[in-house]
Amino acid sequence: MALNIKQLLNESMPHDLTFSEREKQQVRETVFAKTPATFIRILPLAAVLLVSLVGYLLYSSYSDSQPAEVTWHEEIIIPNTFETSLNRSVFVPANKEVIYSKEDGLYSFSPEIDQVEKLVSTQTPMAQYSFAVNENWLVWEDFVNEAYTLNVLNRQTGVTNVIVSFNPLGRLLLEGNQIFYFNSSEEKMLYETMNLNSGNIKTIHEQKDAQADSLREAIGDGKAVVVEKLEKLTTFYIYDTLSGDLVQKSQGTYPSIHNMYINNERVYMDFATDEGRLELAYLDIQTGTISTIETPEYSFSTVHGNHVALSVTEEWGAETDDVELFTLEGNTVKPLTTFPDVKDRLVTPQFFEDGILRMVEENYSDGGPTLHLVKP
């Protein structure tokens, strides 16, 4: 009986492949076009080999067509720059640039043209630890002529506004055209936002009890969160940054909190357990409830959408942590298998607004530490 090549080809195609009937027909025609008529009448064993080969090629084509878990990866080495500067660096997606600090000022590096530009000079090293930047603004603290200053550079006009005797405590947090900061004086302890276009300042939160500890603050998605702890009671205050209205308040007996950020109507944070280890958790802004996420042991976290990057530790307390990337599924994480393989360990992961993950590879032999930018 004549061998039915078409039937064997159909049977060799896995049923879960998403080939259209037209694509299948093109494969069949290609095989027949490249196969002499005499060859079609060969022994069944050769036919089986042919079918196996076609099946393998179809499977390889199918596998290669699947979307990669990491869609973009770029390695950057910035000349004459130490790891400490890269650990604080910010990637600005709109300008495709890396902003980083040194003791003498703030710099921009453009990977596309391999160019370093010094944006501003600073008077004291403190400026390198307290700056915020996006495509429109660069804000930093400094100490000039025995006075603290807040400096606001409009990157579109090149004009810098210097606000004297202004010393916000903690981090400067920038979102859009406003910054969020903690302003403490002898009389009041205030969390404020400043509109960088108008200079208008709005009080978002006032810490009523002087005995309370201010644990952490964050801004994102048009919301600001402040966390206070008084004795064993921890309170989360969440505000709308535009109206200043309180949108959620949640309380509980939670341990110390680290590395807090807002994403997708959730406030993510690292809880420190009684043993000193970290536990990833989130507060649902709509309900006020807090849930924990099951993860491997880690020393640092960052979240964007349903992607989680963790500095996973092999041995707590030892400098063996290395960045691994996961997807968030419910309240657990699943490893991504196509995470870039690099020579040395990766540290200080940080997601930015468009989902790009920045990491620093500790490389001391091949040109210095390497900045890795990844888009999952």
Residue 230 lies in a domain: no
- Residues near 121 by Cβ (< 8 Å), separated by ≥ 6? 104, 105
Residue 42 lies in a domain: yes
- Choose the most confident range, by mean pLDDT, from 22-36, 149-163, 167-181, 331-345: 149-163
Residue 57 lies in a domain: yes
For 222-237, write each residue's pLDDT tens digit: 999 999 888 888 999 9
Query: What residues make up the domain containing 24?
Result: 5-65
Give the C-alpha separation, 127 to 131, whole Å: 7
User: In the predicted model, what is the mean pLDDT of residues 2-8?
Assistant: 45
Residue 34 lies in a domain: yes
For 273-301, write each residue's pLDDT tens digit: 877 789 999 999 999 999 999 999 999 99
Q: What percent of the chain has pLDDT over 70?
A: 77
> What's the mean pLDDT when you consider all of the chain?
80
User: In the predicted model, what is the mean pLDDT of residues 99-114?
Assistant: 91
Number of domains in the chain: 1
Residues 151 and 160 sit within 8 Å (Cβ to Cβ): yes
Residues 258 and 238 sit within 8 Å (Cβ to Cβ): no
Residues 80 and 67 sit within 8 Å (Cβ to Cβ): no
pTM of the model: 0.77
Give the C-alpha separation, 75 to 343, whole Å: 12
Residue 238 lies in a domain: no
For 19-57, write each residue's pLDDT tens digit: 444 444 444 444 444 444 444 344 454 444 444 444 444
- For 190, 197, 222, 367, the CA distances from 193, given in Å and listed in that order, are 10, 12, 12, 41
Residue 43 lies in a domain: yes
